[in-house]
């Protein structure tokens, strides 16, 4: 029987934990379970709630650490896992009842390292959404060139497999070192590393429901500076890790970098973004193919433009 590790990084998620943990506990299917919860130095009641809500769970490992950010927290869970597959769950996302078994069956039937499904938006804290099983005969699409798809952002947000939507072989995550711990937000660096080394499939079925953070301006997903900064760094370090193997991908790397840079400018100032240098770079990226070194220099020049007051960094770096 296959074993799955549920890894849940948590930082100040007290308002969501009851629903999140209930959905994890109620996952159906014939597989062994291991639960790894990492409290990343929460300053609310998250840790006490975790202990109370999971007091009757078996195969449970609660890890605590000073606040170091999600990438460090996730990696703690990855390297503590003793399982065949890892099911990452964000501390405020809710799993559909048959999400895990559906993903596991799809991965095994198609010999995949990674499988991910659809996410739906949104539920509000304290209001339980409908989490019933559905789409029993959901279609599975095999992604032919995973890294290219991640860089292009195709196949319904392929990089989302690095969050609650995905199921990933433990061996692959540990071999590729999980998330880059030099970067605060974990998911894109993990997506790049795993897609370069593993096979990926998409299950056309809803597997998770995301929390509504529209009311909370300091949530990571609402910080466009942080997202863009960390995505650029993820690409930068990924290139450094694999520089001699990326010749066939340099065009896609450059296009993704140019798109990230232009989009953040567009979101901040729609008035003149279509006349900016960054928009011109984005247009040129569709036809040009710079060298790997030129892409690195481009990222270095743009990273300096970010307001460091809006960027959260790994505390032990």
pLDDT (tens digit, 9 = 90+) per residue, 93-104? 999 999 999 999
The mean per-residue pLDDT over the stretch 113-122 comes to: 87
The dihedrals phi and psi of 234, each to the nearest 5 degrees, come to -60, -45
| pLDDT at residue 312 in the model | 84
Task: Please check the confidence at residue 20 and state whether its pLDDT lies above 70.
Answer: yes
Q: Which residues of 107-125 are buried (b: 16+ CB within 10 A; e: fewer)?
A: beeeebbbbbbbbeeebeb
Of 219 and 296, the one with more pLDDT = 296
Mean pLDDT of 128-147: 78
Token pair for 169: 């072989």
Would you call 152 helix, strand, or coil by DSSP?
helix
pLDDT above 70 for 57: yes
- Give the model's confidence band at 217: pLDDT under 50 very low, under 70 low, under 90 confident, else very high: very low
Confidence of residue 212 (pLDDT cuts 50, 70, 90): confident
For residue 216, being part of any structural domain is answered with no
Task: Mean pLDDT check: name the lowest of 27-41, 129-143, 229-243.
Answer: 129-143
Element (H, E) at 228: helix 224-241
Residues 63 and 103 in one domain: yes
Instruction: Report the pLDDT value the prediction gives residue 237, as an integer from 0 to 100.
Output: 98
Kindly state whether residues 137 and 18 are assigned to the same domain: yes
Asked if the structure places residue 82 within a domain, the reply is: yes
User: Do residues 280 and 190 share a domain?
Assistant: no
Q: Specify whether 166 is located in the same domain as 252.
A: no
* Angle value at C-alpha 61, between 59 and 64, nearest 5 degrees: 170
Note whether 302 and 161 are same-domain residues: no
Residue 267's pLDDT band, with cuts at 50, 70 and 90, is low
**Domain of 182, in residue numbers:** 3-211
- Of the pLDDT bands very low, low, confident and very high (cuts 50, 70, 90), residue 218 is very low
Mean pLDDT across the stretch 155-164? 76
Give yes or no for residue 236 having a pLDDT over 60.
yes
Average per-residue pLDDT for the chain: 87
Q: Is 314 exposed, middle or buried (0-12, 13-18, 19+ CB in 10 A)?
A: middle
* Counted domains in the chain: 2
Comparing 56-65, 80-89, 109-118, 122-131, the range with the smallest average pLDDT is 122-131
Q: Which segments of the chain are extended strands (E)?
A: 3-10, 32-40, 60-65, 85-88, 94-95, 114-123, 140-143, 166-169, 200-211
pTM, rounded to two decimals: 0.89
Residue 216 C-beta-side C-alpha neighbours within 13 Å: 12
Phi/psi for 37 (5° steps) reads -110, 130
- Residue at a domain's end among 211, 240, 269: 211
**pLDDT for 92 beyond 70:** yes
The answer as to whether 127 is a domain residue is: yes
pLDDT at residue 268, rounded to an integer = 58
Within a 13 Å sphere around the CA of 140, how many CA atoms are in the beta-carbon half? 19
Report for 31-40, 154-163, 200-209: range of highest mean pLDDT? 31-40
């Amino acid at each position: 029987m296959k074993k799955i590790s549920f890894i849940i990084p948590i930082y100040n998620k007290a308002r969501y934990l009851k629903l999140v943990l209930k959905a994890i506990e109620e996952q159906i299917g014939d597989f062994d379970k291991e639960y790894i919860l990492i409290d990343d130095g929460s300053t609310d009641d998250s840790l006490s709630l975790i202990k109370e809500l999971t007091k009757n769970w078996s195969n449970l490992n609660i890890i605590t650490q000073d606040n170091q950010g999600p990438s460090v927290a996730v990696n703690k869970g990855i390297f503590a896992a003793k399982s065949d597959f890892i099911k990452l769950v964000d501390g405020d996302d809710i799993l559909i009842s048959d999400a895990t078994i559906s993903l596991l069956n799809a991965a095994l039937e198609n010999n995949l390292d990674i499988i991910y499904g659809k996410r739906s938006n949104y539920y509000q804290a304290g209001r339980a959404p409908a989490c019933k099983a559905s789409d029993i005969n959901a279609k599975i699409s095999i992604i032919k060139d995973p890294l290219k798809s991640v860089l292009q952002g195709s196949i319904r947000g392929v990089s989302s497999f690095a969050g609650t939507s995905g199921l990933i072989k433990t061996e692959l995550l540990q071999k590729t070192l999980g998330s880059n711990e030099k970067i605060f937000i974990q998911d894109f660096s993990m997506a790049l590393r795993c897609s370069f080394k593993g096979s990926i499939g998409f299950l056309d079925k809803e597997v998770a429901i995301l929390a509504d953070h529209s009311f909370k301006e300091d949530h990571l997903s609402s910080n466009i500076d942080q997202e863009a900064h960390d995505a650029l760094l993820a690409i930068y370090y990924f290139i450094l890790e694999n520089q001699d193997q990326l010749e066939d991908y340099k065009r896609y790397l450059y296009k993704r970098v140019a798109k990230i840079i232009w989009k953040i400018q567009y979101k901040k100032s729609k008035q003149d973004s279509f006349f900016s240098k960054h928009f011109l770079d984005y247009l040129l990226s569709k036809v040009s193919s710079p060298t790997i070194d030129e892409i690195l220099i481009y990222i270095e020049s743009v990273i300096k433009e970010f307001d460091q007051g809006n960027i959260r960094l790994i505390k032990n770096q």
